[in-house]
Chains A and B, each alone.
Chain A
Amino acid sequence: MEKLSSYLTFKLGNEDFAANIANVLHILGVPPITELPNSPAYIKGAINLRGKVLTVIDPHYKFQMPSQPITKNSCVVVLELENENEKLEVGALVDSVHEVVEVNEEELLPPPNLGSKFKSNFIENVIKKGEEFILVLNIQEVFSSDE
Chain B
Amino acid sequence: MMDMDNLVQGFMDEAAELISSMEESLLALEANQSDQEAIAAVFRVMHTLKGSGAMFGFNSVTSFTHLLENIYESIRSGKIELNEEILNLTFESVDLIKNLLINPEEPQGEVKKEYDRLIAIFEDVVQNKKTEKLEETIISSNKIPAEALKNPTYYIYFAPNEDIMKNGTNPLYLIDELMSLGEGVIFVHVEDVPEFLYLEPQKCLTSWDIVLSSEVDLSEILDVFIFVEDDSKIDVQKISEHNLLTEKSFVDQLPKYVGTAYDSAIVELQGLAEEIEKNIEKTAPEPKHIKAEPLSQATQQTHEESEPMKQSAEHQSEQIRSEEKKQPEKEKPSPAPVQLGKRKEVPHRSKVSSSIRVSSEKVETLINLVSEMVTTQARLNLLASEQQNPEIIEVAEIMEKLTRQLRDNAFEISLIPISSLVTRFQRLIRDLSKELNKDVRFVTEGTDTELDKTIIESLSDPLMHIFRNAIDHGFESKEERIEAGKPEQGQLKFKAYYSGTSVYIDISDDGGGINTTKVRQIAIKKGLIYESQQMSKQQLNELIMLPGFSTSESITDISGRGVGMDVVKKNINKIQGEIEIFSEEGKGTTFSLKLPLTLSIIDGLVVRINDIEYIIPILVIKKIKPIKHSDIQKSFNNMLTVDGEQIPFLYLRDKFQVAGDAPEQEEIVVVHYASITMGIIIDRVIKESQVVVKSIGKHFHGQDIVSGASIMGDGTVALVLDTNKIIDKYSR
A contacts B directly (C-beta below 8 A): yes
Q: How far is the CB of B693 from chain A (nearest CB, A)?
A: 10
B717: contacting residue among A47, A57, A83, CB under 8 A = A47
Complexed CA–CA distance, A57 and B698 (Å): 12
Q: Which residues of A contact B694 (CB under 8 A)?
A: 52-53
Q: Which residues of B contact A34 (CB under 8 A)?
A: 612-613, 709, 716-719
Fill in one digit per residue for B351-388: 1 if any A CB lies within 8 Å of its CB, else 0: 00000000000000000000010010000000000000
Q: Are A36 and B718 within 8 A (Cβ)?
A: no
Which residues B314-361 have CB closer than 8 A to chain A? none
Which residues A72-131 have CB closer than 8 A to chain B? 83, 88-90
Q: Which residues of A contact B717 (CB under 8 A)?
A: 32-34, 45-48, 53
Q: Are B711 and A53 within 8 A (Cβ)?
A: yes
Q: Are A48 and B715 within 8 A (Cβ)?
A: yes
Complexed CA–CA distance, A88 and B701 (Å): 13
Q: Are B696 and A53 within 8 A (Cβ)?
A: yes
Q: Are A43 and B715 within 8 A (Cβ)?
A: no
Complexed CA–CA distance, A36 and B658 (Å): 11
Fill in one digit per residue for B404-447: 1 if any A CB lies within 8 Å of its CB, else 0: 00000000000000000000000000000000000000000000
Which residues B423-474 have CB closer than 8 A to chain A? none
Q: Which residues of B contact A88 (CB under 8 A)?
A: 697-698
Q: Are A48 and B716 within 8 A (Cβ)?
A: yes
Interface: B657 (CB within 8 A): yes
Q: Which residues of B contact A83 (CB under 8 A)?
A: 698
Q: How far is the CB of B259 from chain A (nearest CB, A)?
A: 89
Complexed CA–CA distance, A37 and B651 (Å): 13
Known A32-B715, A48-B715; contact A37-B697, beta-carbon cutoff 8 A: no
Q: Are B698 and A46 within 8 A (Cβ)?
A: no
Q: Which residues of A contact B719 (CB under 8 A)?
A: 34, 36-37, 46
Q: Are A36 and B706 within 8 A (Cβ)?
A: yes
Q: Which residues of A contact B701 (CB under 8 A)?
A: 145
Complexed CA–CA distance, A34 and B699 (Å): 14
Q: Are B375 and A39 within 8 A (Cβ)?
A: no
Which residues B682-722 have CB closer than 8 A to chain A? 694-703, 705-706, 708-711, 715-719
Complexed CA–CA distance, A114 and B586 (Å): 56
Q: Which residues of A contact B652 (CB under 8 A)?
A: 37
Q: Are A46 and B696 within 8 A (Cβ)?
A: yes
Q: What is the size, in residues, of chain B's interface with A at 8 Å between Cβ atoms?
A: 30
Q: Are A38 and B656 within 8 A (Cβ)?
A: yes
Known A34-B716, A37-B703, A38-B655; contact A54-B372, beta-carbon cutoff 8 A: no
Q: Which residues of A contact B697 (CB under 8 A)?
A: 46, 53-55, 88-90
Complexed CA–CA distance, A48 and B378 (Å): 14
Q: Are B372 and A51 within 8 A (Cβ)?
A: yes
Q: How far is the CB of A55 from chain B (nearest CB, A)?
A: 4
Q: Are B612 and A35 within 8 A (Cβ)?
A: yes
Interface: A31 (CB within 8 A): yes
Complexed CA–CA distance, A8 and B612 (Å): 33
Q: Are B696 and A55 within 8 A (Cβ)?
A: yes
Complexed CA–CA distance, A142 and B716 (Å): 26
Find the B residue at minimum CB distance from A42: B699
Q: Are B699 and A55 within 8 A (Cβ)?
A: yes
Q: Which residues of A contact B656 (CB under 8 A)?
A: 37-38
Tell me what chain B mostly uses at the interface: helix, strand, loop, or mixed: mixed
Known A31-B715, A34-B709; contact A57-B655, beta-carbon cutoff 8 A: no
Q: Are A53 and B372 within 8 A (Cβ)?
A: no
Q: How far is the CB of A30 from chain B (nearest CB, A)?
A: 13
Find the B residue at minimum CB distance from A43: B699
Q: Which residues of B contact A40 (CB under 8 A)?
A: 702
Q: How far is the CB of B599 from chain A (nearest CB, A)?
A: 12
Q: How far is the CB of B732 from chain A (nearest CB, A)?
A: 17
Q: Are B703 and A39 within 8 A (Cβ)?
A: yes
Q: Which of B657, B698, B711, B717 has the most CB atoms of chain A within a 10 A radius of its CB?
A: B717
Q: Which residues of B contact A51 (CB under 8 A)?
A: 372, 375, 711
Complexed CA–CA distance, A103 and B703 (Å): 40
Q: Which residues of B contact A36 (CB under 8 A)?
A: 696, 700, 703, 706, 719
Q: Which residues of A contact B718 (CB under 8 A)?
A: 34
Q: Which residues of A contact B698 (CB under 8 A)?
A: 83, 88, 145
Find the B residue at minimum CB distance from A33: B717
Q: Which residues of B contact A55 (CB under 8 A)?
A: 696-697, 699-700
Q: Are B696 and A38 within 8 A (Cβ)?
A: no
Q: How far is the CB of B84 from chain A (nearest CB, A)?
A: 49
Q: Are A37 and B711 within 8 A (Cβ)?
A: no
Q: How far is the CB of A122 from chain B (nearest CB, A)?
A: 17
Complexed CA–CA distance, A88 and B658 (Å): 29
Q: How far is the CB of A43 from chain B (nearest CB, A)?
A: 6
Complexed CA–CA distance, A101 and B99 (Å): 61
Q: How far is the CB of B601 from chain A (nearest CB, A)?
A: 13
Q: Which of B696, B709, B715 has the most CB atoms of chain A within a 10 A radius of its CB?
A: B709
Known A38-B655, A46-B709; contact A90-B612, beta-carbon cutoff 8 A: no
Q: Which residues of B contact A89 (CB under 8 A)?
A: 697
Q: Which residues of B contact A37 (CB under 8 A)?
A: 652, 655-658, 703, 705-706, 719
Find the A residue at minimum CB distance from B574: A86
A90: contacting residue among B655, B699, B706, CB under 8 A = B699
Complexed CA–CA distance, A34 and B712 (Å): 11
Q: Which residues of B contact A35 (CB under 8 A)?
A: 612
Q: Which residues of A contact B705 (CB under 8 A)?
A: 37-38
Q: Which of A31, A34, A37, A47 has the most CB atoms of chain B within a 10 A radius of its CB?
A: A37
Complexed CA–CA distance, A34 and B711 (Å): 11
Find the A residue at minimum CB distance from B715: A48
Find the A residue at minimum CB distance from B716: A32
Which residues A40-76 have CB closer than 8 A to chain B? 40, 43, 45-48, 51-55, 57
Find the B residue at minimum CB distance from A45: B717
Find the B residue at minimum CB distance from A54: B697
Q: How far is the CB of B80 from chain A (nearest CB, A)?
A: 56
Complexed CA–CA distance, A90 and B699 (Å): 9
Q: Are B703 and A53 within 8 A (Cβ)?
A: no
Q: How far is the CB of A84 from chain B (nearest CB, A)?
A: 9
Q: Which residues of A contact B710 (CB under 8 A)?
A: 53
Q: Are A38 and B709 within 8 A (Cβ)?
A: no
Known A36-B706, A38-B655; contact A57-B699, beta-carbon cutoff 8 A: yes
Complexed CA–CA distance, A48 and B372 (Å): 13
Complexed CA–CA distance, A53 and B719 (Å): 10
Complexed CA–CA distance, A37 and B703 (Å): 8
Q: How far is the CB of A19 from chain B (nearest CB, A)?
A: 18
Find the B residue at minimum CB distance from A40: B702
Find the A residue at minimum CB distance from B697: A55
Complexed CA–CA distance, A135 and B375 (Å): 40
Complexed CA–CA distance, A39 and B700 (Å): 8
Q: Are A53 and B699 within 8 A (Cβ)?
A: no
Complexed CA–CA distance, A5 and B471 (Å): 57
Q: How far is the CB of A112 from chain B (nearest CB, A)?
A: 29
Q: Which residues of A contact B706 (CB under 8 A)?
A: 36-37
Complexed CA–CA distance, A40 and B655 (Å): 14
Find the B residue at minimum CB distance from A38: B703
Fill in one digit per residue for B96-135: 1 if any A CB lies within 8 Å of its CB, else 0: 0000000000000000000000000000000000000000
Beyond known contacts A32-B716, A90-B699: 8 more, CB 8 A cutoff: A36-B696, A36-B700, A37-B655, A37-B719, A38-B703, A46-B697, A46-B719, A55-B696
The 5 closest A-B CB pairs, nearest first, are: A37-B656, A34-B717, A55-B699, A53-B709, A46-B717
B residues with a Cβ closer than 8 A to A are 372, 375, 612-613, 652, 655-658, 694-703, 705-706, 708-711, 715-719
26 contacts between A and B (CB under 8 A): A31-B715, A31-B716, A32-B717, A34-B613, A34-B709, A36-B696, A36-B719, A37-B655, A37-B656, A38-B655, A38-B705, A39-B703, A45-B717, A46-B709, A48-B711, A48-B717, A51-B372, A51-B711, A53-B710, A53-B717, A55-B700, A57-B699, A88-B697, A89-B697, A90-B697, A145-B699
